[in-house]
Amino acid sequence: MSNEIVPEPLKVGVVGVGWAGQQHLKAFRAIDGVEIVAVAGMESELLESLRVEYGIPHGFARWEDLLELEGLDAISVAVPTFLHAPIAVGALERGLHVLSEKPLARNGEEGAAMVAAARGAGRVLDVVFNHRRRGDIRKLKSIIDDGGLGRPYYAKASWLRRSGIPTLGSWFTSPELAGGGPMADIGVHVIDYSLHLLGEPKVISVSASTYAELGPRGRGGSEGFTAAASGLAFEVEDLASAFIRLEGGVTLVVEAGWAGYRDPADLMDFSVFGTEGGAELRVVDSPDAAASSLRIFADKDGANTDYMAEPLEDGEHQAVVDDFVAAIRAGADEWGSHDGSVALTRALIIDACYQSAREQREVRL
């Protein structure tokens, strides 16, 4: 007879039933010892369909009602950005662990309130930066960390679309609801994986420009996105670029664009010059059909030794949720290192980008 103690199941709820919320549901279901006990969303038919599909006992239209459910341990927040802070702070103050979709919040002020709530409650606050879990990013990270490029000193990264505004007239195009345009939506991923690859250097200053040339004229929308249109005006940028000075004299240039007259295939990339080598990572086409390549530039005794590096296995949302659950299960001693502070640095950088673009000057952090 075994005396092994079986831990209590981790009981979780998911707020949001769109694409992101469904990724969280799939990931939680794949983890042993996790029970999805509640889901909340405004789309009643979809909510009921997912509740039945996943065998979830409780379904709510209002996220406030989900937070009142007894026995919850953690929630995922997969809703429009303006709701991240109120839901996360409310959950943390009830003693729940929180996994939030990116960006952390509409701005640094809201993000700081979320981090403060996590620290005050002594609970985990993680944010979904799934692209740093991609196999090509993980492979390049290992090469850089092992000294394969020497000291990186200049990097350039982008995520650019031809016609990829996430539904014209939806919450995505309202600064009050989304916090910003592509810099806040997809640029946050680019900033995150770039700083992650470079070893989390401190940001010294930002000089940025934003443009809104296509969206306000009804151009650049994508049929591939499912956010419901609401007739809102286009009041964010459709293209942004930033020149970011990092500690140690390192430079990072970031571009984020929903729409522009360029190649029809999406481009997500990262290139870096180091003192002993360089690298160029390119992901072309939509995320579902993307072709990734990672080229390493090097030499030995003056001879070219460039090569194509094989990516590691992709992690994506499953890896994010796995890490979130692992952090919770690691116990209170570990929770303090998962307080959302890394995501807050990204929010503050994006704030600085928008301030720089408005005021047409460099902004120091």
Q: Identify which has the larger pLDDT, 224 or 337.
A: 337
* Contact in structure between 350 and 103 (CB atoms under 8 Å): yes
pLDDT of residue 8: 87
pLDDT of residue 203: 98
* Contact in structure between 272 and 215 (CB atoms under 8 Å): no
| pLDDT tens per residue across span 52-87 | 999 999 999 999 999 999 999 999 999 999 999 999
CA 192, CA 76: separation in Å to the nearest integer? 20
43, two tokens:
């789309």
pLDDT at 5 over 60: no
Task: Decide: pTM greater than 0.85.
Answer: yes
**Beta bridge partner(s), residue 300:** 303
86-90, 141-145, 232-236, 329-333: range with lowest mean pLDDT: 232-236
pLDDT at 189 over 70: yes
Count of beta carbons in the 10 Å neighbourhood of residue 274: 20
pLDDT of residue 163: 95
Dihedral of alpha carbons 71, 75, 79, 81, sign: positive
pLDDT of residue 27: 98
Q: What is the mean pLDDT of residues 23-48?
A: 98
- The angle at the Cα of 93, spanning 87 to 99, to the nearest 5 degrees, equals 50
pLDDT of residue 222: 78
Q: What is the mean pLDDT of residues 88-97?
A: 98
pLDDT at 153 over 70: yes
Q: What is the mean pLDDT of residues 172-184?
A: 97
User: What element of type H or E holds 351?
Assistant: helix 341-359
pLDDT of residue 350: 98
pLDDT of residue 18: 96
Residue 169: pLDDT band by 50, 70, 90 thresholds?
A: confident
Residue 7: pLDDT band by 50, 70, 90 thresholds?
A: confident
Share of the chain above pLDDT 90, in %: 90
| pLDDT tens per residue across span 227-265 | 666 778 999 999 999 999 999 999 999 999 999 999 999
- What domains can you pick out in the chain, each with its CATH number? 10-130+318-337 (3.40.50.720), 135-313 (3.30.360.10)
pLDDT of residue 1: 46
DSSP assignment string, 108-144: HHHHHHHHHHHHHHT--EEE--GGGGSHHHHHHHHHH
Rounded to the nearest 10 degrees, how much is the dihedral formed by the CA atoms of 320, 197, 83, 80? -80
| pLDDT tens per residue across span 212-232 | 999 999 999 976 655 666 778
pLDDT of residue 288: 63
Assign residue 164 a region (left: φ > 0; alpha: ψ between -120 and 50; beta: otherwise).
Answer: alpha
**Beta bridge partner(s), residue 245:** 205, 251
Average pLDDT, the chain: 95
Q: What is the mean pLDDT of residues 38-52?
A: 97
